[in-house]
Structure 1
Amino acid sequence: MSETRSRRRGAQLEQAILDAAWDELREVGYARLTIEAVAARAGTSKPVIYRRWAGRAELALAAWFRQVPVPQGVLDTGTLRGDLLVLFSRIARRADSMMNEVVAGVMGEAFRHPEIAALLHDRLTRPSPLTSAVETIVGNAVARAELPPLDLPERVKRLPLDLIRNESTLCGTPLTDETLASLVDDVYVPLLHGLAALQERALRKRD
Structure 2
Amino acid sequence: MPYSPEHKVQTRARVVESARRLFNRHGFEQVTIDQVMASAGLTRGAFYHHFDSKDDLYAAAVASFETCNPFATANADQVVKDPKRMARMLVDLYLSDEVLENIDLHCPLYALPSDVARAGLEPQQAYTDLMRGMRHIYRCALKGIRDADRRAEAMVALCVGGMVLARTTNDPELRKSLRESARHQALALLKLD
Q: Distance in 2 between matches of 1:102 and 1:54?
A: 21
- Flag the 1:138–1:10 CA change in 2: closer, same or farther, 3 A: farther
* Structure 2 runs not aligned, ≥5 long: 73-79, 168-174
Q: Is the 8 A contact 2:62 2:127 kept in 1?
A: no
Tell me by how many angstroms 1:71 deviates. Answer: 2.8
Q: Is the 8 A contact 1:85 1:181 kept in 2?
A: no
Quick one: which amino acid aligns to residue 113 of structure 2?
Answer: V
Match of 2:140 in 1: 136
Match of 2:18 in 1: 20
Matches within 5 A, 1:10-159: 10-67=8-65, 69-71=69-71, 74-75=81-82, 80=84, 84-93=87-96, 94=99, 99=108, 100-108=110-118, 110=119, 116=120, 118-126=121-129, 130-139=134-143, 142=144, 147=145
Quick one: which amino acid aligns to residue 169 of structure 1?
Answer: V
Q: Distance in 2 between matches of 1:103 and 1:54?
A: 23
Q: Distance in 2 between matches of 1:156 and 1:52?
A: 40
Quick one: which amino acid aligns to residue 36 of structure 1?
Answer: D
Count residues in correspondence.
165
Match of 1:164 in 2: 159
* Segments of 4+ moved more than 6 angstroms: none
Match of 2:75 in 1: none
State TM-score, norm by structure 2: 0.61
- Flag the 1:121–1:18 CA change in 2: closer, same or farther, 3 A: closer
Q: Distance in 2 between matches of 1:156 and 1:53?
A: 38
Higher relative contact order (CA closer than 8 Å, sequence separation 6+): 2
Tell me by how many angstroms 1:59 deviates. Answer: 2.1
- Flag the 1:121–1:21 CA change in 2: closer, same or farther, 3 A: closer
- Flag the 1:60–1:189 CA change in 2: closer, same or farther, 3 A: same
Q: Percent identity?
A: 13
Tell me by how many angstroms 1:180 deviates. Answer: 0.4
Tell me by how many angstroms 1:51 deviates. Answer: 4.2
- Flag the 1:83–1:43 CA change in 2: closer, same or farther, 3 A: closer
Q: Distance in 2 between matches of 1:64 and 1:170?
A: 20
Q: Distance in 1 between matches of 2:46 and 2:152?
A: 35
Deviations 1:140-199 (A, max 9, x none): xx4xxxx36x8x66x8756544432222223333653343011332xx448x96xxxxxx
RMSD of Structure 2 on Structure 1 (CA): 3.8
Q: Distance in 2 between matches of 1:176 and 1:131?
A: 19
Match of 2:183 in 1: 180
Quick one: which amino acid aligns to residue 166 of structure 1?
Answer: G
Q: Is the 8 A contact 1:21 1:59 kept in 2?
A: yes
State TM-score, norm by structure 1: 0.58
Any idea what SS the aligned residue of 1:176 has? Answer: helix
Q: Distance in 1 between matches of 2:27 and 2:124?
A: 22
- Give the number of the structure whose alpha-carbon radius of gyration is greater: 1
Tell me by how many angstroms 1:131 deviates. Answer: 4.4
* Structure 1 runs not aligned, ≥5 long: 1-5, 111-115, 194-207
Match of 1:198 in 2: none
